[in-house]
Amino acid sequence: VSGQTRRSIQELPDELISQIAAGEVVERPASAVRELVDNALDAGATQIQLKLTAGGVRALVVEDDGCGIPKEELPLALKRHATSKIRNLDELESVATMGFRGEALAALSAVAELSLASRLGDAPHAWRLDARSGELVPAARARGTSVEVRELFFNTPARRKFLKTEATELAHCLEALRRHALARPDVGFAVWHEGKLLEQWRAASSSQRMAEVLGEDFIAHSRALEHSAGPLRIHGRVGLPEAARSRADMQYVYVNGRYVRDKLIAHAIRSAFDDQLHGSRQPSYVLFIDIAPELVDVNVHPTKIEVRFRDGREVHQQVRRGVQQALAASRVQPDEARDT
């Protein structure tokens, strides 16, 4: 036996449990953007505004025009494992909302100063809840919800030290918003930093939104993709080989509307290019994969950035086929034009 004396087992205090749990979902300001915009979309928002101060580290506000939260449920919204989105295992297995874990607001309020203001469509005014004090007061705003997150990691200094420069955190916040904006061209988005409007994307068609978010060049040098096979539908745009990039910075994959990182899908796409990509050149793409919810598990990772397919081989094969077809169509066209 070593010289270490054994310490007794003790239950952790609630606040520390919440701070530990928050570590899984909140890594940086962009995590708050991801979670709060998810919530706004789940609430049926048609307009979402993001306002940032100091790269989102000092303050970050997401405002929506969604369904709102009734006054009596505001405190519940901040509780861990409290959600309006699922009720039982069946609903978990067929979940269609972005959220379902009931963790984000609780996590954010464990590691930041959070306040929540919301107004139902038929309510005479809004109510604002301050997470720390629990104070609930009347507030002024139109229908919908605003969530303000201030001083991220103020009470967990070790984690605050991991934050990068303001410019870097701002870039991550914008990237988080781009991921949402590409998937929801029907929703308007605007983002401000230090009072200055940085981006405004009005509701548009999917390809218009891609042009706005990724640039006209992406549209000019990509082809539309549309491929269905059984319970799978794959659509989007894939960049032509000559438009491949030195960095993997334009690769967006969505499964049932949720942005994911998936090695299997990335591999399937790359393999569809055969030997047309030189060296480490990276293809660009925006790919939406729609699949029956019972054929995919989205509850793999706390941030939901990973999924598990029941039949991964089939998904791989169909993604590869879909991308091949889109690329082949673009190669055939010039020849046909010459022949006629």
User: Out of ligand ADP, Mg ion, none, which partner does residue 100 contact, by CB within 5 to 8 A per kind?
Assistant: ligand ADP
At its nearest, how many Å lie between ligand ADP and the CB of residue 77?
Answer: 3
> 302 vs 312, which CB is nearer to ligand ADP?
302
Q: Where are the beta strands (DSSP E) in the chain?
A: 47-53, 59-64, 113-119, 126-130, 136-139, 144-150, 188-193, 196-201, 222-229, 232-239, 251-255, 258-260, 285-291, 296-297, 308-309
Closest distance of CB 165 from ligand ADP, Å: 28
Least Å distance, CB 305 to ligand ADP, is: 15
Closest to Mg ion by CB, 68 or 99: 99
Tell me the C-alpha distance between 292 and 308, whole Å. 13
Contact residues for 140 (Cβ-Cβ < 8 A; gap 6+): 125, 126
H helices of 184-306, where? 206-214, 216-220, 263-272
Select the residue interacting with Mg ion from 62, 104, 191, 214 (CB under 5 A). Answer: 104
Smallest distance from the beta carbon of 291 to Mg ion, in angstroms?
22
Our CB check for ligand ADP shows the closer of 85 and 159 to be 85
* Cβ(41)–Cβ(187) below 8 Å: yes
Work out the burial of residue 80: count CB atoms within 10 Å of its CB; fewer than 13 is exposed, 13-18 middle, 19 or more buried: middle
Position with the least CB separation from Mg ion: 99
Nearer to Mg ion, 85 or 270 (CB): 85
Residue with nearest beta carbon to ligand ADP? 99
The only residue of 39, 145, 156, 318 in contact with Mg ion, by rule CB under 5 A: 39
CB 148 within 8 A of CB 60: yes
Rounded to the nearest whole angstrom, what is the least distance from the CB of residue 99 to Mg ion in the complex?
A: 3
Q: Is the Cβ of residue 108 or residue 272 nearer to Mg ion in the bound state? A: 108
Interface residues with ligand ADP (CB under 6 A)?
A: 35, 39-40, 43, 64, 66-69, 77, 83-85, 99-106, 145
CA–CA separation, 217 vs 204, rounded Å? 18
Nearer to Mg ion, 293 or 312 (CB): 293
Give CA angle at 73 (71, 75), nearest 5°.
95
Residue 85: name its binding partner from ligand ADP, Mg ion, none (Cβ under 5 to 8 Å by kind): ligand ADP
CB of 110 to Mg ion, least distance (A): 15
Q: Residue 25's binding partner, choosing from ligand ADP, Mg ion, none, with beta-carbon cut-off 5 to 8 A by kind?
A: none
DSSP track, 98-123: S--SS-HHHHHHHHSEEEEEEE-TT-
